[in-house]
Structure 1
């Protein structure tokens, strides 16, 4: 968990820098395709953060619900996963 948290924080710090860089690129009237490429890189980096957090959720929250023997909690955690995947697929 700690490794994933650190990795997610590092990626987000990188994304933060990239977003500021895009702002400078726009202010400097840089080539549109170069800006778009940077936006796509940010989108990819955020997807990796999503994956890290989802893995952590599965390894902790979902696993705890399965171990709890509480059918309502198990259903709730499963439904959360379904809703996340639905949003990702849009």
Structure 2
């Protein structure tokens, strides 16, 4: 993925696994009829974790885009790819 440790696939998979655990916990909270405010707190936590993964992926994409553009000289193609990624990321906010 990238040279930065937080961009490595195994670190991203660990983050996803934690989110799956969070979502499972939220599901159990709902089934156990826990107070809604407590469920919402956990939902916000999971949302933040997903946004962080999206941020990491966007950074990794930008890193790769610049490296690929420098090597290939195809800046238009790489910039368009980055624009699409930024557009999708902005929808999460």
| Per-residue deviation, 1:36 | 0.3
Segments of 5+ residues of structure 1 without an aligned counterpart are: none
Structure with the largest fraction of helix: 1
Structure 1 residues 58-67 or 10-19, which shifts more? 58-67
Runs of 4+ in 1 over 4 A off after TM superposition: none
Q: Is the 8 A contact 1:15 1:42 kept in 2?
A: yes
- TM norm structure 2: 0.78
- 2:57 corresponds to which residue? 53
Root mean square deviation, CA, Å: 2.1
| Per-residue deviation, 1:66 | 4.0
**Post-superposition CA distance 1:31-73 (Å, at most 9, x none):** 1100000000000000110011111111113431243212432
Q: Does 1:23 align with 2:52?
A: no
Q: Is the 8 A contact 2:58 2:86 kept in 1?
A: no
- TM norm structure 1: 0.80
| Higher RCO, Cα 8 Å, sep 6+ | 1
Total equivalences in the alignment: 89
